[in-house]
């Protein structure tokens, strides 16, 4: 059952300080979107290089806002100070909500979530940005599953309005309500969805990818398909979108959805995607996917 409007539940908290685990494309975007709306966000990663990338992206986005006269320099500086990049858990005991945005691998997420839970306040909320894994499956190692909820953002986070809020079986309404409120505070449009593989958007997106992969396997030129779909009105064609999302992420999501609905989806349709993964053509993040990208990984295809 879907529900757009949510009354504030008893026990819901206003997120005044947040944190993000994982400073990749999604984590960096979430920290930026949060700080931009006045909610400071600690951004933790295990690799300094990832933190540098996340901060570099924030610097670029803020500089653009200043250049276009949309943000005064002192406001931009204040937003930037709100993003605290760190390799440890310092200050995590004081945050209201942490978004977990590490790699889409259930074993890694289990280990990270269990450790995270021991570093935050008992009543703080953990929100996972999983693209497709079930909240109930991810909650297994947690002592406080009632404080665990899904918050699925879309790439690029600063501009995509929708956030799927996922309620697991044990998630409290207070946790759902806190996540909904945080999404609204970030200027996003939250939608509460059922805890099922792929939730709402990815069940539709993966079906599109399936049709696209079949078309390419049938001999279609991916660039022509992209142009046609852009002329049709899509903001970007399916090949370019897969490059933006990343083949590795796309492949994980696709596998989870195929396993979740075996009677509806077989794996065979995904040959094109699997070939790209085998060849490590992950898309923008590796500089090559369907298209090649110049040194700036967020650049347009060449």
CA distance 91 to 38: 18
Does residue 252 carry a catalytic annotation?
Answer: no
What is the nearest approach in angstroms of ligand 3HC to the Cβ of residue 31? 13
Which letter does DSSP use for residue 160 in this model? -
CA distance 155 to 152: 10
Q: How many residues bind ligand 3HC (CB under 6 A)?
A: 17
What is the nearest approach in angstroms of ligand 3HC to the Cβ of residue 236? 4
Question: Interacting stretch for ligand 3HC, rule CB under 6 A, among 78-86, 151-159, 166-174, 267-275?
Answer: 151-159
Which letter does DSSP use for residue 188 in this model? -
What is the nearest approach in angstroms of ligand 3HC to the Cβ of residue 192? 17
What is the nearest approach in angstroms of ligand 3HC to the Cβ of residue 125? 20
66 binds ligand 3HC, rule: CB under 6 A = no
What is the nearest approach in angstroms of ligand 3HC to the Cβ of residue 33? 9
- Residue 4 has phi, psi (to 5 degrees) of -85, -50
Question: Interacting stretch for ligand 3HC, rule CB under 6 A, among 13-21, 82-90, 106-114, 150-158?
Answer: 150-158
Q: Which of residues 214-253 bind ligand 3HC (CB under 6 A)?
A: 235-236, 241, 245, 249, 253
Cβ-contact 96, 178 below 8 angstroms: yes
Coil, helix or strand for 289? coil
Q: Considering only residues 159, 204, 228, 259, which one is a binding residue for ligand 3HC as defined by CB under 6 A?
A: 159
Beta bridge partners of 98: 19, 126
Please report the DSSP string for 215-237 in residue order: HHHTT--HHHHHHHHHHHT-SS-
Q: Which of residues 175-204 bind ligand 3HC (CB under 6 A)?
A: 202
Question: Interacting stretch for ligand 3HC, rule CB under 6 A, among 134-142, 153-161, 166-174, 218-226?
Answer: 153-161
Beta bridge partners of 99: 20, 127
Which letter does DSSP use for residue 296 in this model? S
Could you count the other beta carbons within 10 Å of the beta carbon of residue 265?
18
CA distance 136 to 275: 31
156 binds ligand 3HC, rule: CB under 6 A = yes
Catalytic residues: 152
Interface positions with ligand 3HC (CB under 6 A): 61, 131, 154-156, 158-160, 202, 205, 235-236, 241, 245, 249, 253, 298
């Amino acid at each position: 059952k879907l529900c757009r409007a949510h009354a504030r539940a008893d026990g819901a908290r206003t997120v005044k300080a947040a944190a993000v685990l994982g400073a990749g494309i999604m984590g960096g975007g979430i920290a930026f979107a949060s700080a931009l709306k006045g909610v400071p966000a600690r951004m933790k990663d295990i690799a300094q290089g990832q933190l540098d990338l996340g901060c570099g992206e924030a610097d670029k986005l803020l500089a653009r806002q200043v250049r276009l006269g949309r943000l005064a320099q002192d406001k931009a500086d204040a937003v930037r100070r709100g993003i605290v990049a760190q390799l440890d858990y310092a200050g995590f005991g004081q945050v209201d909500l942490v978004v977990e945005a590490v790699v889409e691998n259930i074993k890694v997420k289990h280990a990270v979530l269990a450790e995270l839970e021991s570093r935050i306040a008992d009543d703080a909320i953990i929100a996972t940005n999983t693209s497709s894994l079930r909240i109930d499956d991810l909650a297994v190692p947690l002592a406080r599953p009632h404080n665990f909820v899904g918050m699925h953002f879309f790439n690029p986070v600063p501009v995509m309005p929708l956030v799927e809020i996922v309620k697991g079986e044990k998630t409290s309404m207070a946790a759902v309500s806190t996540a909904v409120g945080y999404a609204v505070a970030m200027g996003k449009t939250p939608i509460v969805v059922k805890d099922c593989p792929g939730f709402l958007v990815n069940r539709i997106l993966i079906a599109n990818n399936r049709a696209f992969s079949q078309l390419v396997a049938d001999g279609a030129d991916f660039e022509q398909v992209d142009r046609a779909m852009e002329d049709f009105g899509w903001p970007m064609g399916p090949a370019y979108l897969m490059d933006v999302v990343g083949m590795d992420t796309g492949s994980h999501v696709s596998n989870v959805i195929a396993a979740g609905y075996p009677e509806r989806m077989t794996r065979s349709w995904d040959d094109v995607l699997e070939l790209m993964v085998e060849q490590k053509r992950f898309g923008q993040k590796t500089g090559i996917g369907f298209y090649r990208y110049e040194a700036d990984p967020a650049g347009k295809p060449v």
